[in-house]
Amino acid sequence: MDTIFEQAVKGDYAIDIPKNFDINQIFDCGQCFRFNRSESCDNTYNGIAFSKKLTITQKDGKVIFHNTSKEEFEKVWHTFFDLDTNYADVIGSFSDDRVLAEASAFSSGIRILRQDSWEALCSFIISQNNNIPRIKGIIEHMSEKYGKPIESESGIDGYSFPTPKALCDAGESGLFALKTGFRAKYIYDAASKVESGEINLSEIDKMKLEDALPALEAIKGVGPKVAACTLLFGFAKHDAFPIDVWVKRILSSYYSDGASHHFSEKNAGIAQQYLFYYERCKNNIFI
DNA sequence: GGGCAGGTCTAAG
DNA sequence: CTTAGACCTGCC
């Protein structure tokens, strides 16, 4: 029932592979939790973003957006895959740093997805002190229970990520029932503050990084790392620089001066993602 | 089976 | 301002 053709067929939309585009790196580098490698088709991922189901294949010089119109590609996926950013230029700007240059070369197919800001906020709250399989499981169950079904001729393709209101209505107990553990009260606080307008995500979108970080950190359970991830992956603020255990390890082992002047620049977040992916692959952590 | 996972909160110095 | 412990749960 889940069979799809790897080649473009009627109803699909195909483009030439953009520079610096590798779906395996894009979806396995840990930035996004709702896309999964297809078990039946090579170089194919299935996922949901912005209340739409996408099956995507990268093959024979093409990227195929299955069952997708040109209009939907231009309206949703062009932006989602950040196709207007020139990653070769970004990588070029890292060439003076030996470690970063090596990590960039290794990870050159990564693009920072422009995900929905609310979904990114929730997802990275859930990610704290947690592992990827469980994070994905919680998000899927949360969507099934509190999201809306995404319908097609073949039935229900999946569920959209729940709105802030839906998670408010679920209540802390409803969220705890999803096995979110101590994060339930954090997710509830985020949902309440966004739903009430105390936190305004479109205002945060307009803010400079230095203002946006503390604005998000007003939410319980949102610290510097979750705030930076939210801004990098949910607001496309490429200067946000999340420091997790892996990046911390790189910083302490290769930048013994402690200072990380390279990482306060405008594309520090992209640098972070290259370093993160590079370090995890070197340590055989397959996401 | 037990440690650990893309952290953050809280309570103390 | 810096630093231990605790924390839900279920992978590895």
Rounded CA–C1' distance between A138 and C10, in angstroms: 12
| Angle formed at CA A3 by CA A39 and CA A46, multiple of 5 degrees | 55
Residues whose CB is less than 8 angstroms from the CB of residue A166 and which lie 6 or more positions away in sequence, other chains included: A146, A147
Q: In the predicted model, is pLDDT for residue A259 greater than 70? A: no
Express each pLDDT in A64-89 by its tens digit. Answer: 999 999 999 999 999 999 999 999 99
- Residue-level pLDDT at A264: 66
Q: In the predicted model, is pLDDT for residue A146 greater than 50? A: yes
Element counts in chain A: helices (H) and strands (E): 14, 7
- Shortest CA distance to A181 belongs to which of A219, A127, A234, A243? A127
- The closest nt to A182, taking CA to C1', is C8
- Which residue is closest to C8 in terms of CA–C1' distance? A181
Angle between helices A98-106 and A268-282 (to 10 degrees): 70
- Residue-level pLDDT at A261: 60
CB A278 within 8 A of CB A106: yes
CB A254 within 8 A of CB A284: no
Q: In the predicted model, is pLDDT for residue A257 greater than 90? A: no
d(CA A230, CA A239): 12
Please check whether the two domains, A12-84 and A117-234, share a CATH topology: no
What residues does each domain of chain A span? 12-84, 117-234
How large is the average pLDDT for residues A53-59?
97
Residues whose CB is less than 8 angstroms from the CB of residue A102 and which lie 6 or more positions away in sequence, other chains included: A278
Residues of A with catalytic function: 225
Residue A159's DSSP bridge partners are A149
CB A161 within 8 A of CB A119: yes
Long-range contacts at A21-24 (CB < 8 A, ≥ 24 apart) = A21/A58, A21/A63, A21/A81, A21/A109, A21/A111, A22/A58, A22/A108, A22/A109, A22/A110, A23/A56, A23/A57, A23/A58, A23/A63, A24/A109
Strand B: protein residues, Cβ closer than 7 A = A 29-31, 127-132, 134, 182, 217, 220-227, 229, 242, 244-247, 272-273, 276, 285
* Residue-averaged pLDDT of chain A: 94
- The closest nt to A186, taking CA to C1', is B8
Return the minimum-mean-pLDDT range out of A39-53, A128-142, A180-194, A264-278. Answer: A264-278
How large is the average pLDDT for residues A18-22?
98
Q: In the predicted model, is pLDDT for residue A1 greater than 50? A: no
d(CA A80, CA A47): 12
H/E run at residue A152: strand A149-152
Rounded CA–C1' distance between A9 and C10, in angstroms: 41
- Using DSSP's 3-state secondary structure scheme, residue A266 falls into coil
d(CA A196, CA A203): 14
A 10 A CB-CB count for A1 gives 4
- Residue-level pLDDT at A4: 62
Rounded CA–C1' distance between A235 and C2, in angstroms: 31
- Label residue A249 by pLDDT band (50, 70, 90): confident
Say whether pTM exceeds 0.85: yes
CATH of domain A117-234: 1.10.340.30
Rounded CA–C1' distance between A95 and B9, in angstroms: 39
- The closest nt to A132, taking CA to C1', is B5
Candidates 3.30.470.20, 3.40.190.10, 3.30.310.260, 3.40.50.10490; CATH matching A12-84 = 3.30.310.260
- The closest nt to A221, taking CA to C1', is B8
d(CA A7, CA A151): 24
d(CA A48, CA A152): 14
Chain C nucleotides close to protein (CB under 7 A) are 7-12
- Residue-level pLDDT at A174: 98
d(CA A93, CA A27): 24
Rounded CA–C1' distance between A21 and C3, in angstroms: 42
